[in-house]
């Protein structure tokens, strides 16, 4: 079960990734985790990546693909893996094909932009405990304050409408084209593509994903 999970920020990928990795006994792999692990372990690629990051640069696709190949060769990936947030761009997806990294399934959690804006901009957090509320879907008993402590709730910078819309814009520019890329792939290495409607309870969405993956 070698799988790529696509979806805009706030589409609920993280929750579904947990369900998938537990059901199929595969690790969830994100480029951020891989980079941190390689830097910590001081692998040759990790050292190279650290030099780039320390200089304020972006780690090249070549380094990322190298890290991916190293990571999926590890024992815990014997039964497969789930890529979360990777590939992010068409060149990364093409490089994976060229390097012979084959994928069985691509799952897109599809949620309308306005629904994501509503979901994220309505979130409020209690800084002390990390408790999360939503002004519509999970409001506190008293508006603006934490149920348990009575302390003020805050809206994180990431959840402000302007920031959410900017992140969605970047997602549509960079990552949305991957939908077409994988749908248009042909040949024996082409993965099965599944578009899952990401609206409903997390259990409903999980069941849709599992139905598609069989």
**Residue 61 CB: number of other CB atoms within 10 A?**
16
C-alpha span between 21 and 6 (Å, rounded)? 15
- Spot the catalytic one: 2, 88, 131, 195: 88
119 part of the active site: no
- Spot the catalytic one: 50, 69, 167, 195: 167
206 part of the active site: no
88 part of the active site: yes
Calculate helix-pair angle for 31-41, 61-72, nearest 10 degrees.
Answer: 80
Per-residue burial over 131-143, b = 16 or more CB atoms within 10 Å of its CB, e = otherwise? bebebeeeebeee
195 part of the active site: no
Q: 213: Cβ–Cβ under 8 A, 6 or more apart, which residues?
A: 1, 3, 20, 24, 105, 107, 194
Selection from 164, 135, 206, 195 nearest residue 9 by Cα: 164
- Spot the catalytic one: 123, 124, 206, 208: 123
Provide Rg for the chain, Cα atoms: 19
13 part of the active site: yes
- Spot the catalytic one: 23, 40, 141, 156: 156
- Spot the catalytic one: 13, 124, 206, 208: 13
Q: What Å distances lie between residue 64 and 89, 90, 164, CA to CA?
A: 12, 14, 26
Known catalytic residues are 13, 88, 123, 156, 167
């Amino acid at each position: 079960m070698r799988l790529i999970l696509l979806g805009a920020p706030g589409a609920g990928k993280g929750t579904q990734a947990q369900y998938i990795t537990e059901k199929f006994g595969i690790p969830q792999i994100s480029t951020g985790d891989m980079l941190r692990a390689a830097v910590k372990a001081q692998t040759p690629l990790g050292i190279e990546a650290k030099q780039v990051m320390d200089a304020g640069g972006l780690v090249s696709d070549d380094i990322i693909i190298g890290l991916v190949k190293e990571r999926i060769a590890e024992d815990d990936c014997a039964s497969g893996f789930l890529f979360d947030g990777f590939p992010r761009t068409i060149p990364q997806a093409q490089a994976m094909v060229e390097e012979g990294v084959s994928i069985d399934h691509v799952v897109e959690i599809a949620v309308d932009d306005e629904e994501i804006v509503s979901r994220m901009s309505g979130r409020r957090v209690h800084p002390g405990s990390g408790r999360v509320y939503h002004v519509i879907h999970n409001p506190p008993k008293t508006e603006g304050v934490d149920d348990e402590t009575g302390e003020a709730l805050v809206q994180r910078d990431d959840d402000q409408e302007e920031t959410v819309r900017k992140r969605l814009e970047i997602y549509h520019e960079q990552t949305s084209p991957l939908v077409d890329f994988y749908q248009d792939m042909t040949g024996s290495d082409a993965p099965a593509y599944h578009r899952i409607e990401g609206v409903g309870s997390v259990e409903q969405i999980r069941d849709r994903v599992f139905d598609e993956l069989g």
